[in-house]
Chains A and B, each alone.
Chain A
């Protein structure tokens, strides 16, 4: 059963959730990710991001730190507390010193600083979603 499952997983289209309150960021990411062959959905605030992540429909979540409703790190903390295994890449702005320090301390978060290089971001995504 397992080999069949993993085979089907490998040929299935991966779904990515992009969560950022800036429409520019979501447009860029959606465009780039769709062109790279992923299925993309968006969330525009912290609460939306949290709830959509919990639904389990996504193989990867790209999460902005500063969003109305809930901060990125808080969302990740809550997911962990509630036992959801959700792959995340966090986007943080350059001035977010405290975020960077905290996320480094917790060690569990992969993050990319804004402004980002698209190829680098896509490479990270591919790394997390093999196949």
Chain B
């Protein structure tokens, strides 16, 4: 066999492969075309039927058994669950249960493949599973597929199944970053039920695994916002040496609030780390206690851009803060005036000043502010 012959054989092989791909493409497109059209039609029909069930109590249309295996039906149910709430959800659940849909989806999730169907099953169970689904979901919280783990956690959160909290916490420190934040989302959904399990988790795991899970847990506590957790957060802030943990604790304290939160935040406002100062300024703004106005006003002259900006923003939301900001417009330091001017625009003081100016009743402060804003010199090169 000589070179040209090998070459010709190669050409034939390549062209055969090409033809196979081409035919495969044509078939695939035809298949998708039919499938999408039908799916959309069925979905719209299901939505219409289900809407009728929701709108009146008469058993108007029966839903075919086949719907239980129909992705279009599941899509319709999930869509409706995101639109209506309250008793309508129970109606939907009742209809779904009647078809044995949940059991079928559980079976699909339990299989090892194909991934597409398993993922769909996980999403369906997350959205419409009932309490009996919880064990399956807990089982698959450690599934090898990240998206399935996420959906299982979501489902447990929606069901408010407290056993799920422990299952999720177990994985918080070892999970991939993306899955970890999604787990945190779910924990937030649990609300107050998750507060003490989270606190216990933090106490046990502080200092381990680079605090990955702990940081997320602190953030969740802050978002849940249970004021009782304040002392625990202050404690964490005091003992933690990892700045990331400190930052998370500061932010959480800002959301949780309470008079006990102010002293540690005030202390953080004077930290040598600009990030802690900046976070503390924001946190104090969230708490809403004007006793810190003085301290924040001092931070308007901070050397760091973020600290100045956050302090101004905080003052903008505190009682009496706007007066502080207006007074700052007389400061000789331009960075301080810039920060104050931004917040004064955000909170509407600038607009009000403009309106007063147009009406001819502008105050001295208004004029000062307006002049600064419309300064003739170019802002920056």
Contact = CB atoms under 8 A, between A and B. Distances in A.
In-complex A–B contact (CB below 8 Å): yes
A116 B87 contact: no
B84 A119 contact: no
Contacts of B88: 117-118
Contact of B84 (A23, A28, A36): A28
B181 interface: no
B interface SS class: helix
B81 interface: yes
Contacts of B54: 28, 31-32, 118
A30 B54 CA distance: 12
Interface stretch (B44-52, B153-161, B250-258, B297-305): B44-52
A24 interface: yes
Contacts of B56: 35
Nearest to A32: B55
A22 interface: yes
Contact of A25 (B55, B83, B85): B83
A117 B84 CA distance: 6
Contacts, number: 57
A120 B84 CA distance: 11
A27 interface: yes
Nearest to A91: B83
B81 A115 contact: yes
A128 interface: no
A24 B79 CA distance: 7
Contacts of A116: 83-85
Interface in A1-52: 22-25, 27-28, 30-32, 35-36
A27 B84 contact: no
A118 B55 contact: yes
B86 interface: yes
Nearest to A105: B348
Contacts of B350: none
A84 interface: no
B77 to A, nearest CB: 10
Interface string A95-127: 000000000000000000011111110000000
B5 interface: no
B57 to A, nearest CB: 11
Contact of A115 (B44, B47, B83): B83
A74 B146 CA distance: 40
Contacts of B51: 27-28, 30-32
A119 B54 CA distance: 10
B85 A27 contact: no
Contacts of B83: 22, 24-25, 28, 114-116
Contacts of A114: 82-83
B60 to A, nearest CB: 10
A118 B50 CA distance: 13
A119 B86 CA distance: 9
* Interface hub of A27, A30, A35 (most chain B Cβ within 10 A): A27
A115 to B, nearest CB: 4
Nearest to A30: B51
Contact of A24 (B52, B80, B87): B80
Contacts of A118: 54-55, 84, 86, 88
A116 B84 CA distance: 5
Nearest to A33: B55
B55 A31 contact: yes
A108 B146 CA distance: 46
A74 B54 CA distance: 32
Given A31-B55, A35-B55, A117 B85 contact: yes
16 contacts: A24-B47, A24-B76, A27-B48, A28-B51, A30-B51, A31-B51, A31-B52, A32-B51, A115-B81, A115-B82, A115-B84, A116-B83, A117-B84, A118-B84, A118-B88, A119-B87
Interface of A: 22-25, 27-28, 30-32, 35-36, 114-120
Interface of B: 44, 47-48, 51-52, 54-56, 76, 79-88
Given A24-B83, A27-B44, 20 more contacts: A23-B44, A23-B47, A28-B51, A28-B84, A30-B51, A31-B52, A31-B54, A32-B51, A32-B54, A114-B82, A115-B81, A115-B82, A115-B83, A116-B85, A117-B84, A117-B87, A118-B88, A119-B86, A119-B87, A120-B86
